[in-house]
């Protein structure tokens, strides 16, 4: 009996030696690591932007058509060229006032505000008007004195208000925009040893418009003001009456037009920023340098061309695709089944609550590609739910949607102690092993 016990213990020792050797080999295993990169539509497309020449023959020196829901440029002409923007500035003035002021606030005109050039409301120093009424004066008639009254009330000074405007522009990613005045009058100033001009780009201006009509917590009030055709009010004391008419001609002449702002200075020329709804789509445009007197109507011609281009060419399409995800090899991981003779593979998954529909505004000739990026191998330990990759939707070389990929299980790192413990447990559970030890 003692001989049988000795043989059995020797066998166990040999098995342990073999398994430890296997484990050591696993620790020194050198594999080539690759990434699972698969395209489920067709190879990733890095083609040039849709439009590279001005096929619409626009008058504007700079122009852009943008998808308001995504800020994607659908058509551009010198859209990143920095230019003065005249009274289109006032969309930023309006939204800053709405977000930082109270519509019922009484606002008193300073001498500086009263001295602002035409177009103006004609206030005099000391006259008090409700902030709400000043915003209608600002956006419908484009009154320069109303803009300065608003700026000094909200920002404490023109400079203080400009700081708020530039801060908001930075938050919106408008890196080519710089504000000096609240009314858009041509201006330059020295800042940090550099001469800065009151200016923007067509692309930045459209992004600001998108924020005003959709993203801002005060977008509803902005739309109510800019969509009003006529408005009347008095000063706080009821001594003088004022009336305003909206100069956005597209509100009554283009179906779906619901917001916008015109502008003109000698330096900027005619400018316009506007928005149109059509079949669930929202398009914004911005026009800068769109002619000088007597070509006041050129901006309306350009605006119609751009909006019609968007409505004719771009429609929503569902691009969602089911993706088959690979399993990931966990190097030096404890086997989920307890066996060392098989590789440790863990499945991947996307979040269960992910959207099953991805609608993008696309032209008929545009194609979305879907790219899965998951590593072939990871080093233990790993955790269940650990993010290990992504499924990304690409359009024209840009990522438009991304879903993270997670591990469905976790595992600890394989150790000599685990191997020894696993072997002993297995041998102790062998049929007759307990009886042999007891009889000895």
Cα–Cα distance between 86 and 95 in angstroms, integer?
17
Question: Looking at residues 51-56, what average pLDDT do you find?
Answer: 72
- Structure tokens that stand for 108 in this block: 């008193």
CA distance linking residue 93 with residue 162, whole number of Å: 9
> What are the structural domain ranges in the chain?
2-41+321-418, 62-314
Token representation of residue 230: 């006529």
Run of H or E residues at 437: helix 433-439
Token reading at 133:
């009424």
Highest mean pLDDT among 85-99, 181-195, 316-330, 358-372: 85-99
371-397 average pLDDT score = 91
Residues found in the chain: 440
Which region among 127-136, 293-302, 350-359 has the lowest average model confidence (pLDDT)? 350-359
Fold classification of 62-314 (topology level)? Beta-lactamase (3.40.710)
Both tokens assigned to 279: 């079949």
As a whole number of angstroms, the distance between CA 260 and CA 276 comes to 9
Torsional class of 280: left (φ above 0), alpha (ψ -120 to 50), beta (otherwise): left
Percentage of the chain surpassing pLDDT 90? 67
Domain 2-41+321-418 and domain 62-314, same fold? Reply is no
Whether cis (ω within 30° of 0) applies to the bond prior to 24 is no
Q: Using CA atoms, how far apart are residues 23 and 415, in angstroms rounded to an integer?
A: 8
Q: Yes or no: say if 270 and 298 are a contact pair by the CB < 8 Å rule.
A: yes
Beta pairing partners, 369: 394
Question: Is 58 a residue whose pLDDT tops 90?
Answer: yes
Comparing 10-19, 216-225, 310-319, 339-348, the range with the smallest average pLDDT is: 10-19
pTM: 0.79
According to the model, what pLDDT value does residue 353 have? 63
pLDDT value of position 334: 81
381 pLDDT exceeds 60?
A: yes
Longest Cα separation, the chain: 119
Give the alpha-carbon dihedral of 15, 20, 24, 27, to 10 degrees: 110
Q: How far apart are CA 322 and CA 349, in angstroms?
A: 11
Q: Can you name the CATH fold of 2-41+321-418? A: Peptidoglycan synthesis regulatory factor (PBP3), Domain 2 (2.60.410)
């Amino acid at each position: 009996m003692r001989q049988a016990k000795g043989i059995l213990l020797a066998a166990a020792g040999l098995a342990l030696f073999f398994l430890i050797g296997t484990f050591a080999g696993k620790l020194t295993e050198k594999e080539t690591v690759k990434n699972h990169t698969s395209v489920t539509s067709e190879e990733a497309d890095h083609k040039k932007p849709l439009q590279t020449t001005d096929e619409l023959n626009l008058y504007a020196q700079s122009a852009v058509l943008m998808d308001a829901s995504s800020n994607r440029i659908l058509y551009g002409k010198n859209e990143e060229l920095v230019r003065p923007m005249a009274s289109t500035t006032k969309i930023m003035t309006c939204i800053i006032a709405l977000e930082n002021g109270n519509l019922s606030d009484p606002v008193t005109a300073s001498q500086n505000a009263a001295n602002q050039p035409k177009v103006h409301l004609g206030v005099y120093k000391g006259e008090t008007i409700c902030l709400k009424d000043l915003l209608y004066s600002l956006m419908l008639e484009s009154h320069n004195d109303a803009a300065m009254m608003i700026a000094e009330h909200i920002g404490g000074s023109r400079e203080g208000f400009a700081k708020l405007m530039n801060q908001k522009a930075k938050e919106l990613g408008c890196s080519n925009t710089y504000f000096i005045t609240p009314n858009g009058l041509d201006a330059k100033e020295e800042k940090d040893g550099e001469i800065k001009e009151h200016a923007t780009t067509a692309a930045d201006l459209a992004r600001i418009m998108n924020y005003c009509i959709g993203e801002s917590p005060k977008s509803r009030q902005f739309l109510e003001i800019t969509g009003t055709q006529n408005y009347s009010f008095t000063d706080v004391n009821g001594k003088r009456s004022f009336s305003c008419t909206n100069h956005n001609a597209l509100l009554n002449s283009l179906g779906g037009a619901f917001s916008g702002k015109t502008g003109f200075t000698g330096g900027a020329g005619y400018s316009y920023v506007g928005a149109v709804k059509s079949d669930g789509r929202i398009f914004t445009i911005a026009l800068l340098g769109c002619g000088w007197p007597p070509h006041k109507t050129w901006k309306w011609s350009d605006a119609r061309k751009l909006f019609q281009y968007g409505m004719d060419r771009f429609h929503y399409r569902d691009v969602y695709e089911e993706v088959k995800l690979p399993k990931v090899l966990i190097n030096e991981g404890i086997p989920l089944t307890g066996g060392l003779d098989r590789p440790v593979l863990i499945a991947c998954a996307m979040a269960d609550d992910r959207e099953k529909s991805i609608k993008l505004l696309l032209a008929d000739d545009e194609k979305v590609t879907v790219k899965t990026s998951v590593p072939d191998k990871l080093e233990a330990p790993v955790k269940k739910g650990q993010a290990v990759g992504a499924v990304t939707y690409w359009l024209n070389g840009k990522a438009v949607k991304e879903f993270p990929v997670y591990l469905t299980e976790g595992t600890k790192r394989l150790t000599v102690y685990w191997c020894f413990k696993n072997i002993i447990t297995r041998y102790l559970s062998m049929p007759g092993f307990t009886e042999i030890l007891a009889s000895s």
